Amino acid sequence: MLVLDGVAKRYGEATILHPTSLSLGRGQRVALIGPSGSGKSTLIRTVLGLVVADAGRVLFDGIEVGPETARAVRRRCGYVISDGGLFPHLTAGGNVTLVARRLAWKTARIEERVDALLTLVRLERDLLTRYPDQLSGGQRQRVGIMRALMLDPEVLLFDEPFTALDPMVRAELQDDLLAIVTRLAKTVLLVTHDLAEAALLCERLALLHDGRLVQVGAAWELVERPATPFVSAFVSAQRAFVSPPRPPDLEAPLA
């Protein structure tokens, strides 16, 4: 479905991305993980033609992404960014239906699609009349996901979608998103620096470091068979929550 073939990018003297290759079969879910500045955001943006690679090529369902094809490819992708990326001058509903209206969809068809998406992302209908700044962060992100899904795209691209959210909302959205993408069986490319999020949502993880792909595999492979010392360092930097021991003087009265 999606093939990145030797994609590379430089900004002046700085190499953001060394030649990188990665491919996703239809319905596969891959997470691009790595620290800030590792090139993962640059890589995902080459898929949409938002960043034009200096070398290599991106194939979308066999079509090479370029100036002429970018628009068609974008219509077949849903793109979700941090905080939803909603346009402040449109209501939530206006954001969701913008492209469909420009494509002259019939009103009934738009309404039907919006109804289905409201159920899917678990959002109340009356929130659609609100403007983005009248919504909570979690609601904005649900609207952003609705907008990405509106045209029923084959590929979903998420660029650090949940970084702006507080932990409870994030966990809830992660669960909901997992349900959505497994149910729809979409091809997913997710950019995150959160290993737990990557492991939850995707079956394959691609770890980037300084513009190079250092390891591609399932989460357990990165944990148990790290390809480089950096991989183990990255993995061990993500810590599970361990409660500190209960203070001794509180133990007796409770018992």
216 forms beta bridges with 206
Q: Does 133 bind other proteins (CB under 8 A)?
A: yes
Residues 160-179 that bind other proteins (CB under 8 A): none
Residue 9: how many CB atoms within 10 A of its CB? 23
Q: How far is 17 from 42, CA to CA, in rounded Å? A: 8
Strands 29-33, 187-192: pairing is parallel
Contact 163, 84 (CB under 8 A): no
Helix (H), strand (E) at residue 19: strand 14-24
The single residue listed with the structure tokens 């993980």 is: 33
Stretch binding other proteins (CB under 8 A), from 72-80, 208-216, 218-226, 240-248 = 72-80
Q: Does 126 bind other proteins (CB under 8 A)?
A: no
Q: Does 89 bind other proteins (CB under 8 A)?
A: yes
Indicate the residue among 70 and 199 with the shorter CB distance to other proteins: 70
60 forms beta bridges with 2, 63
Q: Which position among 1, 50, 120, 223 is part of the footprint of other proteins (CB under 8 A)? A: 50
Q: Which position among 36, 71, 168, 249 is part of the footprint of other proteins (CB under 8 A)? A: 71
Q: Does 74 bind other proteins (CB under 8 A)?
A: yes
Q: Which position among 5, 120, 131, 172 is part of the footprint of other proteins (CB under 8 A)? A: 131
Q: Does 140 bind other proteins (CB under 8 A)?
A: no
Stretch binding other proteins (CB under 8 A), from 14-22, 129-137, 206-214, 219-227 = 129-137
Q: Alpha helices, DSSP H only, in the chain?
A: 40-47, 70-75, 92-102, 107-121, 137-149, 167-184, 195-201, 219-224, 229-237, 251-254
Indicate the residue among 105 and 230 with the shorter CB distance to other proteins: 105
Q: Which position among 6, 25, 68, 87 is part of the footprint of other proteins (CB under 8 A)? A: 87
| Least spacing, CB of residue 218 vs other proteins, in Å | 29
